[in-house]
Every structure is written in structure tokens, then in C-alpha cells.
Chains A and B, each alone.
Chain A
Amino acid sequence: NAGVTQTPKFRILKIGQSMTLQCAQDMNHNYMYWYRQDPGMGLKLIYYSVGAGITDKGEVPNGYNVSRSTTEDFPLRLELAAPSQTSVYFCASRAGTPSQETQYFGPGTRLLVL
């Protein structure tokens, strides 16, 4: 059981470039999340999805876009990379029932924008 997987593990971007961070889960979870974590800080929610075709903004959505065409995948798109987007990005999922509020996190993608 792979759980939540993220690719790539590490990426260097130049200012203005674009890229897609991939996230997939094989637990048939309805809810998926994207967070960013800056050094020494907690996680901040970028976007989340409560099911295929449904997404919503979190605390820090500017500069990012998401889509959820399938239950399994929740890619995060950076259109015009900026140095402020240098961070570690974590994807998470949860089942969504009251007794299963637990979020399962992927290993993260470390992004450096120069």
C-alpha cells in the first residue's frame, strides 16, 4: 500500500517558470490537501478538495492552481514561479468520515526558485 505519493522529490526552478507538483493516493480518500511549509514554520493550507471535480482555496492560494479530475490525483500547478514559493510542499488525504479525520501525508516536494 503506497499511501500518498508525491513527485518530484526536489526541483529547482528559475523565476517565471512553471511546473506541476504531482500527488496521488491509493486509499480511495475523498479529501485531499496541499500544504506548504517554510523553514521553521508550521504548515499552511494552499488548496483542498472534497472530491473529484470540487476544489477550494485554503489560507495561501495565490500563485497556485489545482485540479481534481479523479479521486486518486490532485496536482498542484505553479504558473509563474517566484522566489517566495521556495518551500517544501506536502500533499495529504483523508477518508472524510467522522471517525477517520486523520490526514495522511506524502513525503513532500522540496522546491527552490532562483
Chain B
Amino acid sequence: LAKTTQPISMDSYEGQEVNITCSHNNIATNDYITWYQQFPSQGPRFIIQGYKTKVTNEVASLFIPADRKSSTLSLPRVSLSDTAVYYCLVGEGNSGYSTLTFGKGTMLLVSP
């Protein structure tokens, strides 16, 4: 399983764009990159997933360079409610036996 490295914490203010970068140097050819969000006392919630280049949905964007050894989750114009822990995971997207490894994640604190 590919190991991921991401910052332990980040601070931001309301209205700013936040970019959280994740390193996954030993990502395999079949691995997808997935980001989850977790609020206190809740289970993680899927945010976005990608394989290469750029993916955008109504919540965030995910930028993946050509070598796929890192990825950046971009949250546009964060609000206080975006304060949460964000996990970057790498796993085999098309393997029936794939499991995902959660690290400690990045604690994002958004202030007024």
C-alpha cells in the first residue's frame, strides 16, 4: 500500500482558498487518490477522487501532476464549517481486495 505524507495542521481564514498537499512517492499504476473529510464525532466523508490531471466537483478540486507522486486538494473560499480533518488516501481503484490506509490527516482550522 502506498504511504502518504501530509501536513499535520493548517490554519486559514474565512473566504480564503486552502490547498493541502499530499505526498505519495510510491504510488502504484492502479492506485487512485481519494480525499476524505472528518468532523469531530462523525465518520469520514468522501470529498473527491482522481487518478491524474485535475478533477473538480461542487466541493473541491484535486490537482494531480503527471508523475502522480503528489496531489493537492483545493478548497475554494473556505468557511468556518470547513474546519475538519482531511485525509489523503491512495488505494487500488480497480482491485476487489483493496483496502485504504488512513494516516493522521491534516487538521484544518478556519478562523473568522
Which residues on A are within 8 Å of B, measured CB to CB? 4, 30-31, 33, 35, 40-45, 48, 50, 56, 58-59, 90, 92, 96, 98-99, 101-108
Interface check B98, CB cutoff 8 A: yes
A103 and B37 CA atoms in complex are apart in Å by 12
A42 & B104 in contact (Cβ 8 Å cutoff): yes
B42 & A48 in contact (Cβ 8 Å cutoff): no
Chain A residue nearest to B46 (CB atoms) is A102
- Our pick among A30, A45, A48, A102 for the contact of B101 (Cβ within 8 Å) is A45
Chain B, range 8-48, C-beta contacts under 8 Å to A: 32, 34, 36, 41-46
What are 30 A-B contacts defined by CB distance under 8 Å?
A4-B43, A30-B96, A41-B104, A42-B87, A42-B104, A42-B105, A43-B44, A45-B100, A56-B97, A59-B101, A90-B43, A90-B44, A92-B43, A96-B96, A98-B93, A98-B94, A99-B93, A101-B32, A101-B34, A101-B93, A101-B98, A102-B46, A103-B36, A103-B44, A103-B46, A103-B100, A104-B46, A105-B45, A108-B41, A108-B43
A40 and B99 CA atoms in complex are apart in Å by 22
**Distance (Å) between the CB of B57 and the closest chain A CB?**
12
Interface check B49, CB cutoff 8 A: yes
A58 & B42 in contact (Cβ 8 Å cutoff): no
A43 & B91 in contact (Cβ 8 Å cutoff): no
Interface size for B (C-beta < 8 A) is: 24
Interface check B76, CB cutoff 8 A: no
- Our pick among B99, B103, B104, B105 for the contact of A33 (Cβ within 8 Å) is B99
Chain B, range 35-67, C-beta contacts under 8 Å to A: 36, 41-46, 49
Chain B residue nearest to A105 (CB atoms) is B43
- Our pick among A35, A45, A50, A106 for the contact of B97 (Cβ within 8 Å) is A50
| Additional pairs, 10, CB under 8 Å, beyond known A102-B34, A106-B43 | A4-B43, A42-B103, A42-B104, A43-B44, A48-B99, A98-B94, A99-B93, A101-B32, A101-B34, A101-B98
- Our pick among A30, A44, A96 for the contact of B102 (Cβ within 8 Å) is A44
Chain B residue nearest to A92 (CB atoms) is B43
